[in-house]
Amino acid sequence: MSRRIAVVGGGPAGLATWQRLRDTGHEVQLFDPEPGGLMRTIRHDGWIIEAGAHTMATTDAGVGAMLRALDTDPEESSVAPRTRGRQVLLHGRPTPVPLSPGELVASPLLSMRGRLRLLREPFISAKPGGDDESVQDFARRRFGHEVAARIIDPIVGSSTGGDPRQLLARVLFPQHVQFEAAGGSVLRGAMRAGMQARRRKGGSSMPLSSHTNGIDWFVRAVLRQGNGSVCREAVTGITFSDVDVTVQWGDGSERFGGVVLAVPPAAMRAIRVVGVDAGQFEKVATMPCASVASVSLGYRREHVTRPLTGGSLLVPSSEHLPLLATFSADAMFPGRAPEGHLLITSIVGGVRHPDAFRDDDRTLTQQVHAALAGAMGLVAPPAMVHVTRWEGAMPQPVAGHFVRLAAADALEAGAPRLAFAGGWRGGMSIGEAMASGLRAANRLGGTMPA
Ligand SMILES: Cc1cc2nc3c(=O)[nH]c(=O)nc-3n(C[C@H](O)[C@H](O)[C@H](O)COP(=O)(O)OP(=O)(O)OC[C@H]3O[C@@H](n4cnc5c(N)ncnc54)[C@H](O)[C@@H]3O)c2cc1C
């Protein structure tokens, strides 16, 4: 019987699994035609373009320890964003999101009525809305309509590509839902948790950051350590038997003792899986997933008369634009654009505009430029364009999500040679995807001798 383990999918989840399994003495083979997943940095002609994620953070001790152990390259170092400020596009104008109670009082983002409604939250009786309460319903119930529409809608829309009317509060804001259930108020719970976190400062978590040469530092660091065991192929089939697992791709196949499936649900649909409960697998693989395009535009500095002052500009659905958000790369990190230039990256599409990501590069560029021209004072077309399409990359935790998660648990329970990992399982961020990867490694690695 083979003791080797196959990891299918080399995004943050799969790479974390692969790294942990190798660290614990297992023989592992990674399958991915383009390892890195959404941690993809493009470097050319002085531009450092994040085609997917820009920053990451974690509160998971295991992930924090893994990242610190890998962060040894003297050529580059971890950098925190220069600004954590966010703006919301409100009636075509970038408007800062208040970060403190003082800023809130003066913020034009909320009307006086909206601010008073927000401040009443601690006195509004708790009526937890159940597993299937949407983010929008939760936010409206606790904070009022304006906060839901002008703050929560653009934050959630840009980070998930989804619709806050359908996404589940319990998945996206588990802590906040818990604050209400346990103490009756989200704001009181958040303040208490903030004070406790400050006291614990310096612990095992890793604050929001990237690296000087881009977020793909993690991918490069992991690949450097195990390059010989990477098969740059898309897996097309996985067959489980009583004694092993056969992984198939293009014109090859190989037997393993176990497999970690670390691809997003949309990508599972292209893999023929045999020997597990097909109905349960179907439930996992049909989890809805949104698609987006990431449109990076480089401008000459003098052609941007009103650069963004925060790291990101979030776009609420009420603006009726195909844009979900725009990130100002060089407002966040130094050295992302050649001398005399600015780099911005916009996320287009998602559930709001499901087909927009398919538009050709020219159309996407024109749409983004037109949408931002007024807000940023753009007076000439971009000098550099780079577009990446991410089809089905953003899993959507909507009604039925917990049934799908239970199906994944049941599949693992029935097939001890299988473990799942991925952002869809444990959260929506890179840190959470990595944490799910470590859990999968512990699960499968623990049942198989190294
Ligand atoms: C545009 C965008 C920006 C984001 N920005 C941030 C951010 O700034 N910070 C943050 O924390 N999170 C961000 N996220 C979310 C974050 O990127 C995801 O939560 C995370 O990447 C999920 O990791 P994963 O490993 O589950 O999947 P992925 O990153 O999607 O990786 C899946 C991997 O599986 C591979 N694969 C697919 N099919 C097969 C197959 N058949 N065989 C072998 N391999 C296969 C793919 O090539 C890919 O490498 C962003 C998401 C998007 C879409």
pLDDT tens by residue, 85-97? 899 999 999 999 8
Does 422 sit in the ligand 1 pocket, CB within 6 Å? Answer: yes
Q: What is the pLDDT of residue 106?
A: 78
Higher-confidence residue: 393 or 3?
393
Residues 426 and 287: beta-carbon distance below 8 Å: no
Residues 168 and 399: beta-carbon distance below 8 Å: yes
Two structure tokens written together for 74: 């003297």
Answer whether residue 212 shows pLDDT above 80: yes
Residues 441 and 25: beta-carbon distance below 8 Å: no
Whole-number mean pLDDT of the chain? Answer: 93
State the pLDDT confidence band at 102, using cuts at 50, 70 and 90: confident
Does 434 sit in the ligand 1 pocket, CB within 6 Å? Answer: no
Q: What is the pLDDT of residue 202?
A: 56
State the pLDDT confidence band at 443, using cuts at 50, 70 and 90: very high
Q: Smallest Cα–Cα separation from 168: which of 350, 397, 394?
A: 397
**CA 302 → CA 306, 342, 370, 382, 383, distances in Å?**
10, 9, 18, 11, 12
Task: Give CA–CA dist 17/196, Å, rounded.
Answer: 30
Complex-level ipTM beyond the 0.95 threshold: yes
Residues 136 and 148: beta-carbon distance below 8 Å: yes
Spatial neighbors of 443 by CB under 8 A, at least 6 apart, are 412, 419
- Give the percent of the chain with pLDDT over 90: 83
**CA 90 → CA 8, 117, 234, 349, 351, distances in Å?**
42, 19, 43, 19, 20
State the pLDDT confidence band at 105, using cuts at 50, 70 and 90: confident
Comparing 205-209, 356-360, 379-383, which segment has the lowest mean pLDDT? 205-209
Q: What is the pLDDT of residue 2?
A: 63
Does 264 sit in the ligand 1 pocket, CB within 6 Å? Answer: yes
Q: State mean pLDDT over 132-158.
A: 95
CA atoms within 13 A on the CB side of 93: 5
Two structure tokens written together for 131: 């597993």
Answer whether residue 228 shows pLDDT above 80: no
Residue 54 phi/psi, 5-degree rounding, is -105, -40
Q: How many CB atoms lie within 10 A of CB 86?
A: 23
Residue 25 phi/psi, 5-degree rounding, is 90, 10
Question: Which residue segments constitute the domains of the chain, with CATH numbers given?
Answer: 5-36+60-77+212-287+398-447 (3.50.50.60), 110-199 (1.10.3110.10), 289-395 (3.90.660.20)
378, β-bridge pairs = 304
pLDDT tens profile 396-440: 999 999 999 999 999 999 999 999 999 999 788 999 999 999 999
Comparing 202-206, 275-279, 342-346, which segment has the lowest mean pLDDT? 202-206
Q: Rounded to the nearest whole angstrom, what is the distance from the C-alpha of residue 268 to the centroid of ligand 1?
A: 13
Two structure tokens written together for 292: 């987006």
Task: Give CA–CA dist 344/330, Å, rounded.
Answer: 8
Task: Give CA–CA dist 263/238, Å, rounded.
Answer: 13
Ligand 1 atom with least separation from CA of 234: 42
Mutate to test the pocket of ligand 1, among 7, 31, 38 (most ligand atoms within 8 A of CB): 38
pLDDT tens profile 341-371: 999 999 999 999 999 999 999 999 999 999 9
State the pLDDT confidence band at 201, using cuts at 50, 70 and 90: low
Does 293 sit in the ligand 1 pocket, CB within 6 Å? Answer: no
Q: Rounded to the nearest whole angstrom, what is the distance from the C-alpha of residue 409 to the centroid of ligand 1?
A: 21
- Which residue minimizes the CA distance to atom 36 of ligand 1? 9
